[in-house]
């Protein structure tokens, strides 16, 4: 079945003909394995943006470019060669050369494929589509039309048989042959996100501590790195589409939300360099990663012509709050309005000490800024698009922190946006103009409710914007052309299946003796995060969830037959940390995993005591240690701000030690999770269970999990989960938290 990706629909007049072709091709290509892009962003090596109206990737035809001209027969006055003279202008042009235009785009595609040697035999064709002209009209127009060399697709040739004939009778711009399965997959990868992902090089080095019979983990990583990322239709839609309004992206840990938002921001800038774009996130430790990702995608999609340093006046990468030494989203908007930004001291004073979490601080600051802006009658608008990562960390359970019944940070983001120009009003032809705040704006947020550490609120549209505005913004499931208003990502690329299943089972308490901590209400909810369900969820009978390999494509689980999670308990913290140091050294000397491929996460309260104990134990063994947030390596947690680097997370040839909050959004091949007893002491807490989920899902390969003096029931739960592998059988019970997203339920009803 053909797959269609509409990158942007603005309602411009030229889209009418293109949409007509797309609508006709949906049934015409229904039996073919074709991928169709509308306006695929294609940049030349000279930095010019060319957008084929339609780009087809097909296992039999190869690459097909279709240039659409929505003109009637009577508008074409004469044809000489490839030049068409018009009786009246078409978008201010009296002479068109549509076939030459299509061939130029085809040549750019050929140039792009030269970077992929396996695609040298892929045929490339170009043709011109005239949806308002029939074959009889064309043939009756005279010899210059009848014998013209332009390959044509006419309005009455959009059935399956006639379209296939038109393509097959089109001469190739580059000759080739039909594609086998591997070549077609390589073609899709080359034009998709997977083929352009930044991948860290894995170079195994000899390790004197490993014997011949030992299979090193670094060698398994090198083998897994050779795996080609399969074409993921949903990722393509998220990364390459520009919605004309709000869009919600719900994705499990490791599904690529951060990468896709960075790519989306880069696409927006290359297509609309005049736009002001904000890419916002919660954890400051993500600054470097965000900057590197945006820079990568700008270069990849502009043939190296555009870098982040060239675009940062338009793409603002912003921590949610900000500080004097580094602008954040809240602070940037406050300064735009001429209002003094709040700091931690102001938050404590206004809340009288009741707000102490980072989330509460930024949400309260947003509330106060909105109130002051409205008191002064200030216009908050300054951006054309705002993209929010880690969206679950920017909502708060406290009703007192809302602004006019809405989540304050999201409402500030929405108010900071300029309305999207619309061809038609949002609700049809109103008797009066649409209210300013009801005009659609490009606010795009990504989240995973299982990673909430400070609150239990799920960032659903109704809670963010209030029920009335949410109903208006959420009319229909898609925008024009099929761009989704909501996407749910079920494939986890980072974390191997057994680790992800264990993280979900422990995070939700599925095998907990006293009943589950969190629950998903039905099979559809489990399917949305990538699980197959057996059993009747309407009863309290046994339910079995299984994670299929296609939803966890990380190869480590298939390459390494041994358990990917090593779980140990100790009688004291000192013993636990001694074992930790041995495990870190063993991974370096025997498994070939350098220190910077490892990560140590301390569970529990985010203070420095646990981190300092880990630091001391590792330094005693002569290991290089970097405490996340420090300026330098091999120093304990810095209390002097001059020794701190709030954005820092990793140093070459050092093992990073961090708490869960700073670990969010980051990853490592081997993750050591210490202090499981901190979770056990509050094992009925949703947020403590979420800490464990976040820690486990930072792993790209393996986990060492440890704690001291665990209660027997909790240890039994952990061991039962780990013994279950990628299949867990449990019984439903009343849970403290329902993870069913109401927006997903609304979408299901709308669909």
For position 405, which CATH number holds? 3.40.50.300
Percent with pLDDT over 90 in the chain: 66
pLDDT reading at 214 higher than 90: no
**Same domain, yes or no: 460 and 479:** yes
Last residue of a domain, one of 191, 224, 243: 191
pLDDT reading at 402 higher than 80: yes
Tens digits of residue pLDDT in 251-262:
999 999 999 999
Neighbours of 572 (CB within 10 A): 10
Select the highest-mean-pLDDT range: 482-486, 534-538, 629-633. 629-633
Q: Which one has a higher pLDDT value, 147 or 330?
A: 330
Is 541 a member of any domain? yes
Last residue of a domain, one of 468, 489, 510: 489
Q: What is the mean pLDDT of residues 435-448?
A: 87
Is 227 a member of any domain? no
Is 201 a member of any domain? no
pLDDT for the residue numbered 212:
58
**Same domain, yes or no: 338 and 485:** yes
pLDDT for the residue numbered 521:
79
Mean pLDDT score across all residues of the chain: 89
Q: Mapping DSSP to helix (H, G, I), strand (E, B) and coil, where does residue 45 land?
A: coil
The one-character DSSP state at 328 is B
pLDDT reading at 680 higher than 90: yes
- Nearest C-alpha neighbor of 741 from the set 363, 260, 251: 251
Is 100 a member of any domain? yes
Determine the Cα–Cα distance for residues 502 and 51; give it in Å rounded to an integer: 44
Strands 247-251 and 486-489: parallel
Determine the Cα–Cα distance for residues 445 and 414; give it in Å rounded to an integer: 11
* Domain enclosing residue 618, as ranges: 497-742
**Same domain, yes or no: 167 and 311:** no
Q: Mapping DSSP to helix (H, G, I), strand (E, B) and coil, where does residue 749 land?
A: helix
Q: Which two tokens stand for residue 343?
A: 């700091």
pLDDT for the residue numbered 426:
43
The DSSP result for 530-568, as a single string, is T-EEES-TTSSSEEEEE--GGGS--THHHH--S-SEEEE
Give the pLDDT band of residue 200 (cuts 50, 70, 90). Answer: low
Determine the Cα–Cα distance for residues 297 and 262; give it in Å rounded to an integer: 7
CA 703, chain centre distance (Å): 24
Q: Which one has a higher pLDDT value, 196 or 465?
A: 465
Tens digits of residue pLDDT in 487-531:
999 999 999 999 999 999 999 999 999 999 988 878 988 998 999
Give the pLDDT band of residue 41 (cuts 50, 70, 90). Answer: confident
**DSSP H or E stretch at residue 389:** none
Count of domains in the chain? 3
- CA dist list (Å): 308 to 174, 196, 280, 327, 388: 34, 17, 16, 17, 18
**Same domain, yes or no: 279 and 170:** no
**Same domain, yes or no: 552 and 473:** no
| Largest distance between two CA atoms of the chain | 94
pLDDT reading at 653 higher than 80: yes
pLDDT for the residue numbered 431:
45
Percent with pLDDT over 70 in the chain: 94
Q: What is the mean pLDDT of residues 329-354?
A: 90
**Same domain, yes or no: 695 and 600:** yes
**Same domain, yes or no: 543 and 633:** yes
CA 453, chain centre distance (Å): 20
Q: What is the mean pLDDT of residues 375-404?
A: 94
Place of tokens 């889209």: 15
Is 196 a member of any domain? no
- CA dist list (Å): 514 to 408, 509, 511, 526, 732: 36, 9, 9, 22, 11
Is 224 a member of any domain? no
Is 215 a member of any domain? no
Q: What is the mean pLDDT of residues 214-231?
A: 87
Q: Which residues pair with 174 in a beta bridge?
A: 124
pLDDT reading at 198 higher than 80: no
pLDDT for the residue numbered 437:
75
Give the pLDDT band of residue 331 (cuts 50, 70, 90). Answer: very high
The DSSP result for 682-716, as a single string, is TTT-HHHHHHHHHHHTTEEEEEEEEEES--HHHHH
- Angle, helices 497-508/686-696, rounded to nearest 10 degrees: 170
Q: Mapping DSSP to helix (H, G, I), strand (E, B) and coil, where does residue 599 land?
A: strand
**Same domain, yes or no: 484 and 356:** yes
Is 750 a member of any domain? no
Select the highest-mean-pLDDT range: 22-26, 222-226, 574-578. 574-578
Give the pLDDT band of residue 750 (cuts 50, 70, 90). Answer: very low
pLDDT reading at 734 higher than 90: no
What is the chain's length?
751
Tens digits of residue pLDDT in 409-431:
999 999 999 999 865 444 444 44
Last residue of a domain, one of 137, 159, 191: 191
Tens digits of residue pLDDT in 287-326:
999 999 999 999 988 888 899 999 999 999 999 988 878 8
CA 653, chain centre distance (Å): 29
Q: What is the mean pLDDT of residues 87-104?
A: 92
Neighbours of 376 (CB within 10 A): 10
Strands 124-130 and 172-174: antiparallel
Q: What is the mean pLDDT of residues 177-187?
A: 94
**Same domain, yes or no: 484 and 524:** no
**Same domain, yes or no: 519 and 481:** no
Place of tokens 């549209």: 461
pLDDT reading at 40 higher than 70: yes
Phi-psi region of 468 (alpha: psi -120 to 50; beta: other; left: phi over 0): alpha
**Same domain, yes or no: 366 and 420:** yes
**Same domain, yes or no: 465 and 539:** no
pLDDT reading at 467 higher than 90: no
pLDDT for the residue numbered 323:
80
């Amino acid at each position: 079945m053909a797959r269609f990706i509409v990158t942007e629909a603005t309602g411009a007049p030229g889209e009418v003909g293109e949409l007509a072709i797309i609508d006709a091709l949906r049934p015409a290509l229904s039996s073919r394995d074709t991928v169709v892009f509308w306006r695929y962003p294609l940049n030349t090596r000279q930095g010019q943006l060319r957008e084929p109206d339609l780009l087809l990737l097909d296992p039999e035809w190869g690459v097909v470019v279709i240039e659409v001209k929505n003109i009637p027969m009577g508008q074409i006055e004469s044809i000489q060669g490839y030049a068409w003279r018009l009786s009246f202008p078409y978008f201010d042009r009296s002479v068109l050369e549509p076939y030459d235009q299509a061939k130029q785009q085809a040549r750019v595609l050929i140039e792009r494929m030269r970077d992929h040697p396996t695609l040298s035999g892929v045929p490339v064709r170009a043709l011109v589509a005239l949806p308002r002209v029939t074959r009889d009209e064309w043939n009756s127009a005279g010899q210059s039309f009848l014998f013209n060399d332009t390959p044509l697709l006419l309005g009455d040739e959009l059935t399956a048989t006639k379209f296939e004939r038109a393509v097959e009778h089109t001469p190739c711009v580059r000759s080739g042959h039909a594609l086998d399965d591997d070549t077609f997959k390589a073609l899709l990868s080359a034009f998709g996100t997977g083929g352009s992902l930044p991948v860290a090089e894995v170079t195994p080095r000899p390790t004197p501590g490993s014997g011949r019979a030992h299979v090193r983990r670094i060698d398994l990583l090198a083998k897994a790195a050779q795996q080609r990322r399969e074409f993921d239709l949903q990722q393509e839609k998220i990364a390459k589409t520009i919605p004309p309004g709000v869009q919600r992206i719900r994705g499990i840990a490791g599904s690529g939300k951060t990468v896709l938002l960075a790519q989306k921001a880069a696409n927006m800038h290359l297509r609309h360099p005049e736009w002001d774009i904000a890419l916002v996130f919660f954890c400051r430790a993500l600054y470097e990663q965000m900057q590197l990702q945006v820079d990568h995608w700008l270069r990849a999609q502009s043939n190296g012509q555009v870098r982040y340093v060239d675009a940062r006046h338009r793409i603002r990468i912003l921590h949610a709050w900000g500080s004097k030494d580094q602008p954040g989203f809240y602070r940037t908007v406050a300064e735009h309005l001429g209002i003094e930004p709040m700091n931690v001291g102001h938050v404590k004073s206004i809340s009288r000490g009741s707000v102490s979490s980072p989330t509460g601080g930024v949400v309260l600051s947003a509330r106060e800024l909105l109130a002051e802006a409205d008191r002064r009658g200030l216009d908050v608008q300054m951006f054309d698009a705002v993209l929010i990562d880690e969206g679950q960390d920017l909502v708060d359970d406290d009703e007192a922190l809302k602004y006019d019944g809405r989540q304050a940070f999201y409402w500030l983001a929405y108010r900071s946006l300029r309305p999207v120009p619309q061809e038609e009003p949002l609700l049809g032809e109103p008797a009066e103009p649409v209210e300013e705040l009801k005009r659609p704006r490009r606010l795009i947020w990504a989240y995973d409710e299982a990673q909430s550490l400070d609150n239990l609120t799920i960032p659903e549209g109704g809670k963010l914007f209030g029920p009335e505005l949410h109903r208006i913004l959420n009319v229909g499931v898609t925008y024009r052309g099929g761009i989704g208003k909501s996407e749910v990502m079920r494939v986890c690329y980072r974390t191997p299946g057994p680790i992800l299943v264990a993280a979900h089972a422990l995070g939700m308490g599925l095998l907990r003796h006293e009943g589950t901590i969190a629950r998903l209400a039905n099979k559809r909810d489990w399917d949305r995060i990538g699980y197959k369900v057996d059993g009747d969820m309407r009863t309290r009978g046994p339910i079995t969830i299984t994670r299929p390999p296609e939803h966890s494509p990380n190869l480590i689980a298939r390459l390494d037959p041994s358990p990917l999670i090593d779980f140990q308990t100790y009688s004291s913290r000192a013993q636990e940390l001694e074992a930790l140091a041995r495990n870190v050294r063993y991974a370096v000397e025997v498994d070939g995993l350098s220190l910077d491929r490892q990560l140590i996460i301390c569970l529990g309260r985010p203070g420095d005591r646990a981190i300092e104990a880990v630091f001391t134990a590792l330094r005693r063994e002569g290991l290089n240690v970097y405490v996340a947030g420090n300026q330098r390596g091999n120093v304990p947690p810095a209390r002097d701000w001059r020794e701190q680097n709030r954005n820092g997370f990793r140093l070459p040839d050092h093992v990073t030690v961090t708490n869960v909050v700073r670990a969010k959004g980051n990853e490592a091949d081997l993750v050591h999770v210490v202090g499981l007893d901190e979770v056990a002491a509050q094992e009925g807490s949703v947020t403590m269970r979420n800490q464990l989920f976040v820690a486990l899902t930072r792993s790209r390969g393996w986990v060492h999990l440890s704690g001291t003096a665990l209660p027997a029931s909790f240890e039994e739960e952990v061991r039962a989960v780990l013994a279950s592998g990628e299949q867990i059988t449990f019984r439903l019970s009343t849970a403290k938290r329902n993870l069913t997203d109401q927006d997903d339920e609304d979408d299901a009803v709308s669909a």
